[in-house]
Structure 1
Amino acid sequence: MTVRFAALGDSLTEGVGDPVPGGRRGWAALLAPSLSPGPVNFRNLANSGALSRDLLVSQLPAALALRPQYAAVVVGGNDTLRASFDLDLTARHLSAVLRSLTAVGTVPLTACLPDPGRLLRLPTPLARPLARRMRGVNAVVHALSEHHHAVHLHLADLPWTARRALLSVDRLHPSAAGHQLIACGFHSLLVEAGHPVGPPPAELATVAPAPGADLWWMATQGTRWVAARSTDLLPGLLALAAIEARHQLRGSARRLDLAEAEATAAIVARLTVPTPEPSIGDLPAPSTADTSPTA
């Protein structure tokens, strides 16, 4: 039997950081052949810059048409990098995607994401608001993954900053070795959960970016990325940084963390309410019609 696997997500799942002749590969493509001892029909629907809304509106219909046994749902980083970030809206988008997939029997593969401010080594006043947003998104992903029985990889806990070879030159996406680590992580979790998968993904050589590669990327590509974000994220992020600085001076920064945690908990509570089992009073009354056979 052919196993069907759809990958929904952004640049991480599209394969940025893992270039191959003719395009990109990425962790989902590395994992796909290992999802079954037999043939696998893999379709990568992810695209760079995708937000949680894009998964719901654009990628989900194509995934449902495939009726996959497995579907990667890894998103949220781009949401936190937008001035219009709304955790409640992001959470509702993710919830709708996972609910739709599990309703047709698909096993979702989800992951929490590392803090982009830490990866990019942003100054503390800029990094803290992003970290707070990422904590909120990850808390939502954790809760929704448990609620929908997803196979969840704690991607944020992998040693991204400790092992430079795991990051691409942009310091925001995995390198080829980083993508392979993600693929192997999901494969191990599927094995532990008893899924009938095939052998693990083949091991790739771990090569750190060459000296000066970070500077070359910034000179040739990174400036475009920064410019694009500057017209959207930067004004809002600077405003957040100003609020952060004021709270730091007053010694009240902890209030921001507590407010974020309370808001996140309320969102999670709304989206993970257990579906009640029908009580006897809710069941239809048995029919009193004569069911004896007729001549």
Structure 2
Amino acid sequence: MPAIRLAALGDSFVEGRGDPGLDGPFHGWVPRLADQLGIPRRGVLNLGVYQATTQDVVDGQLPAVLARKPPMIVVNVGVNDLVSDYDPERFRRNLGTIYSSLRGMDTTVFTASYPDIPKNLAVPDAFRSLLRDRFAEANSVLREITVATGTLCLDLTAMPGWAEARVWAADGIHPNAAGHQLFADQLTEFAARETGLVQPALLVGG
């Protein structure tokens, strides 16, 4: 069994949806990030699943990562909670479980805040307003939990590009190839800056 150096947990954003692949259904930011960090594909574990919620990550993906203990983990999940069966207490509890469980495992854990996806959706204004309130609340909860657990959180609401239509697929929910590349680029730079490394690949022993 090859050593896993990068693991990604989450939903269809992690899966790579919106970015068609040449050797599979999707490409996405995970292999792009691995390439930039000098991590061979055999050292990458991508657990992203379409429509996964925070509960799905807690129940299925988290145990798999805890068993492998990779040196770098990226988590992106929560949008499906926010746009469907939203339970604020369950959302907070699940995020707390995910990030506290990964803490102290001799690994570096990254995540990112939720961009303004409601802006892209063809929904009534009242529902868009409701979704934006949920996304704002979710970002507040995420900031609180990541600070408490030492998780490194890339704030996409403050990063350039995410308000532009050019980075989104036609459904407005998933990034397109340009969006997945943008996220890989921004996360690589963020990892280098926050960990004090000149070469991001050193983060995972590359």
**TM class, shorter-chain normalised?**
0.7 to 0.9
Identity %: 33
TM-score if structure 2 supplies the norm length? Answer: 0.87
Tell whether the 8 Å contact from 1:33 to 1:198 is kept in structure 2 after alignment.
no
Match of 1:31 among 22, 25, 33: 33
- The residue that corresponds to 2:174 in the other structure is 173
Matches within 5 A, 1:56-71: 56-71=58-73
Q: For 1:158-187, what per-residue CA distance to the aligned partner results, in whole angstroms no more than 9, with x for missing partners?
A: 4333x3221111111111111111111111
Matches within 5 A, 1:263-274: none
SS class of match (1:152): strand
- The residue that corresponds to 1:19 in the other structure is 20
Tell whether the 8 Å contact from 2:8 to 2:73 is kept in structure 1 after alignment.
yes
Larger relative contact order, structure 1 or 2 (CA cutoff 8 Å, min sep 6): 2
- The residue that corresponds to 1:107 in the other structure is 108
SS class of match (1:198): helix
Q: For 1:34-67, what per-residue CA distance to the aligned partner results, in whole angstroms no more than 9, with x for missing partners?
A: 335x656101001010000111110011111221
| Residues matched between the structures, number | 195
- The residue that corresponds to 1:88 in the other structure is 89
Tell whether the 8 Å contact from 1:3 to 1:39 is kept in structure 2 after alignment.
no
Tell whether the 8 Å contact from 1:7 to 1:44 is kept in structure 2 after alignment.
yes
- The residue that corresponds to 1:261 in the other structure is none
Shift of 1:23: 1.7
Matches within 5 A, 1:1-295: 4-21=5-22, 22-36=24-38, 39=40, 41-82=43-84, 84-158=85-159, 159-161=161-163, 163-193=164-194, 194-195=196-197, 196-198=199-201
SS class of match (2:75): strand
Structure 2: runs of 5 or more not aligned: none
Distance 1:151 1:27 in 2: 17
SS class of match (2:200): coil
TM-score if structure 1 supplies the norm length? Answer: 0.62
Distance 1:39 1:102 in 2: 25
Distance 1:143 1:68 in 2: 24
Structure 1: runs of 5 or more not aligned: 200-295
Distance 2:175 2:109 in 1: 21
Instruction: Indicate the structure (1 or 2) with the bigger Cα radius of gyration.
Output: 1
Stretch moving more, 9-18 or 97-106: 97-106
Tell whether the 8 Å contact from 1:3 to 1:35 is kept in structure 2 after alignment.
no
SS class of match (1:174): coil
**Aligned AA (2:124):** P
- The residue that corresponds to 1:236 in the other structure is none
